[in-house]
Structures are given as structure tokens and as C-alpha cells.
Amino acid sequence: MLVHTICIFNPAQEVKLTMAARIYNFNPGPAALPLPVLEQVKEEFLDFKGSGMSVSEVSHRSPLFEEVLNDAVARFKRLLKLPDDFKILFLQGGASTQFFMVPMNLLPNGSSADYINTGSWAKKAIKEAEILKKSCNVIASSEDKNYSYIPKGFSIDPSAAYVHFTSNNTIEGTQWASFPETGGVPLVSDMSSDMLCKPFNPAPFGLIYAGAQKNLGPAGVTVVIIRDDMLARVPKDIPTMLRYTTHSEKNSLYNTPPCVAIYIVQLVLKWIEDSVGGLEAMERRNREKADLLYGFMDAADFYRPTAAKDSRSLMNVTFRLADENLEKKFIAEASQSGLGGLKGHRSVGGCRASIYNAIDLKAVQSLVDFMKAFVDTNG
């Protein structure tokens, strides 16, 4: 871990303090942001674009902020190669609010939707639909093996309003390598933890949602990508703020949006597009990181990845050691070595390295080097 020294002056004396610099941040969310983005935020925060105001003070209805918002929308559409019939919304409430907004807006009474249960977040989405007394059919589940794999070979109801799935499971460390074939039934997906990690065909999707705090930006904003034909389903007898049409008709400016979070998302999109080189380049970068980490663990026979090989996540690498005491020692010593956020989710224990878009190969190599040294002293 790098360190730097700063000088603090007071009337009596000069005091030198040695402070820790940035660690390698493997937290699952809020997660690491690209350093160039953070540096630009720091540069612009007090005086945004010569306005004499912080971006946190600029009116959301000013040309300055609308330029930020519209640029974020345009960059999303370019990166994902979205057709013209998709709208980009910036909402609040996290993906957890989308768990009930989706069935509230898109699942009419008398219809049913298909859900695929691959872990904790999928279960929460199913629960919210059931609270609304909506008809949801769980057509596949990996619960029988502690959500360690992505289900295959399930049947989809051709009359279903949509098929809902979680594209990447942060807690269990699994990810869809390819998306379900639905025969024309719209896909709805929670992509909170792998949005923009690789290219995909958006055409089968009626709606995609993603809390920003894992792979897109800071906590506080949720991106919703919705197709026009899905907007046509939205009923008028639900609360105004919970209608997708309310936000699509006002370009996400019906009320005051989370301006700072949207601004940072826009900078992250710019970084992906202009610095990384788009989603094809991002996928190569992400696969290189994942291959390095999984390849080492498979060869070391000391760390045990928890996900089936054909279901392993590019974003969240979950693994166990021989026992919990050894895991605690691993996490503590890693933290002391400048490798943070490696504790597994409290519901499953173990260890987890979240290697989102902002994490570079150098960080993963440093983790692997530490893991090798830990084997040498504890193997």
C-alpha cells in the first residue's frame, strides 16, 4: 500500500502526519470508482464548468446540468447500441425499489410473469411481486445447491408478461454467460452488478435496471432502460412517482434527481467510452482479470471458488478457505497489506473479491501475489 506525508501547520508547530493512500478496493458496493473519474470530480467539485458553484449546487433544470444528463443518456445508448425505442431513466430508491416498480408497472392483473431464482436478490424481487399479489411463476431455481450455478433447461410461458432474472449474483458469485432465450417474451433484468462489463444484444429486453453503486458510479441513482412498448403498459392508477411514464416524459427531471450521482455516472461512461475503448475492450479487460484470479485458485488447491465453473462471475469472485478462522486471518492480513473489502457477504460467509470495471489488472495481480504468500505461510 502506498503512503504519503502531509504537513499540517498550526500557530505553534509543524506537525507531519503519515497517512495511508488509496488501497486496492475489492468492496462489493459501494465499490471502487475509476481513479481518473475521482480526480475529475475533485477538480470540478467546487467550481463546476466555471459556474462558481459546486455540481451539488447547480440547478437540475439549468443548461449546465441538462448537458450532463443528456450526455449520460447519449453515452449509454452508444455503449449499449440501443435502438431508438429505448429510454434511459435515472431514478432513486436503488434496485430494491425496482423489485416492486417492475410488477407494479408491467404486470397487469390477470397476467403472470416468469421469474428465475438464482440467489438473494432474485428472491427479494420475487417477494416484492408477491407482496403486490401479482402472479409470478418461479420457472427455475438454483437453491438446491446454495445458488452455486445458473439454471438451464427451463421452460418459459409464452403468454408471460415478462421473464425476470438477475444477470450477476454478487453474494453467490454467479453470472449468466448467455441470457435466456424467451421466444419473444420480454426479458427484464437486474444488472446492478455487471452493467457495462461486456457487450450484449439489448433487443430481447423490455427493461433493464441497475443500482449504480457497483459498476456505474456512487450510491444514490438507479439506471432504468425501458423499451417504448413496455411504457405503453404502465397503468395510471399507481402513484405518480412510481410510474415509469412520469420519468420518461420528463427526461428524469419530474422532481429533483440525484444530480451528483448522475454527474459521476456520466464521467464513468465517458471513461469507459473514451479511455477504455468501449464494451468490447472492457470485456477483454474483465476476462483477463477473472482468468488470472480463477486460474491461480484452481491451480493452488488452497482457495475453493464457490461457483460452478460454467457459472462463475466476472465481477464477484467468491471463495472459501479450509475454515472460518483461516478466512478471518486471510481477510485481516489482506487488509493490512492494502487489499480491502474481501470479506464475504454476512449471509454466506467466506471471502469475495469484487473486480468490477474500475478494478485494474494491477490490483488483481497484487491480490494474487498476496494469496500466494498467504499459502506459503499457512498452507
Is 289 an annotated catalytic residue?
Answer: no
For the chain, the first-to-last Cα distance in angstroms comes to 24
Cα–Cα distance measured from residue 103 to residue 163, given in angstroms and rounded to the nearest whole number? 11
Q: How many CB atoms lie within 10 A of CB 273?
A: 19
Among residues 123, 214, 289, 343, which one is catalytic?
214
What the block records as the C-alpha cell of 202 is 439489448
Q: In the annotation, is 114 catalytic?
A: no
From the list 362, 366, 378, the residue with the least C-alpha distance to 342 is 366
- The yes-or-no answer on residue 214 being catalytic is yes
Residue 276's H or E segment, with its range, is none
Question: Could you say which of 121, 123, 289, 343 is catalytic?
Answer: 121
In angstroms, what CA-CA distances link 76 with 191, 203, 260, 306, 376?
Answer: 14, 15, 17, 33, 45
DSSP code, position 240: G
Among 190, 271, 289, 343, which one carries the catalytic annotation? Answer: 190
Tell the residue number behind the cell numbers 417477494, with chain if given: 127
Estimate the share of the chain in helix, then strand, then coil, as percent rounded to the nearest 5: 40, 20, 40
Catalytic center residues: 121, 190, 214
